[in-house]
């Protein structure tokens, strides 16, 4: 079931370039520090099953820094929400505080860019991942 959820999530994120691929249109200028941090977060996130607890912690630190540097960067908030919710799935941390932080970050992303598919997908992912259904599923 988890594999199916990851595949579906990847399908809907296919318009987002992988961290290692070049963008279809080069950016107008150099990336900001926050954009670099977001790219590093996605690089960790993209490994999914091969990501260690320490890497999830690093990804969360990167997200916290990116959102602090650019508090109106919807992509940073969306990436941060996705990263925060992953340890919940893997049973590393299923605390209510984690769910609240992930939800708040995703909602912040949507509030900044309500028409963005990426922000809405982040909110949907957090709600799906943190609903408790992953822990109830029989694999």
CATH number at residue 127: 1.25.40.10
- Domain extent, residue 74, equals 33-136
Helix (H, G, I), strand (E, B) or coil at 56: helix
Q: Output the pLDDT for position 131.
A: 79
Is 91 in contact with 134 (CB distance < 8 Å)? no
What separation in angstroms does the CA of 30 have from each of 35, 36, 73, 122, 129? 10, 10, 16, 26, 34
Is 128 in contact with 106 (CB distance < 8 Å)? no
Domain count, the chain: 1
64 lies in some domain:
yes
1 lies in some domain:
no
14 lies in some domain:
no
Q: Output the pLDDT for position 119.
A: 95
What separation in angstroms does the CA of 135 have from each of 10, 20, 129? 21, 32, 10
Backbone dihedral angles phi then psi of residue 70, each to the nearest 5 degrees: -130, 80
Is 63 in contact with 41 (CB distance < 8 Å)? yes
5 lies in some domain:
no
Q: Output the pLDDT for position 3.
A: 46
Is 73 in contact with 38 (CB distance < 8 Å)? yes
Residue ranges in the chain whose pLDDT is less than 70: 1-28, 132-139
83 lies in some domain:
yes
């Amino acid at each position: 079931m988890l594999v199916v959820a990851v595949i579906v999530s990847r399908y809907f994120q296919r318009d987002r370039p992988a961290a290692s691929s070049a963008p279809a249109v080069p950016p107008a200028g150099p990336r900001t520090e926050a954009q670099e941090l977001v790219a590093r977060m996605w690089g960790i996130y993209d490994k999914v099953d091969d990501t260690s607890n320490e890497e999830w912690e690093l990804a969360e630190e990167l997200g916290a820094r990116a959102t602090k540097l650019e508090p109106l960067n919807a992509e940073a908030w969306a990436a941060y929400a996705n990263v925060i919710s992953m340890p919940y799935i893997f049973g590393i941390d299923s605390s209510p505080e984690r769910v609240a932080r992930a939800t708040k970050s995703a909602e912040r992303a949507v509030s900044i860019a309500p028409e963005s598919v990426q922000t809405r997908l982040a909110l949907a992912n957090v709600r799906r991942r943190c609903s408790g259904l992953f822990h109830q599923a029989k694999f």
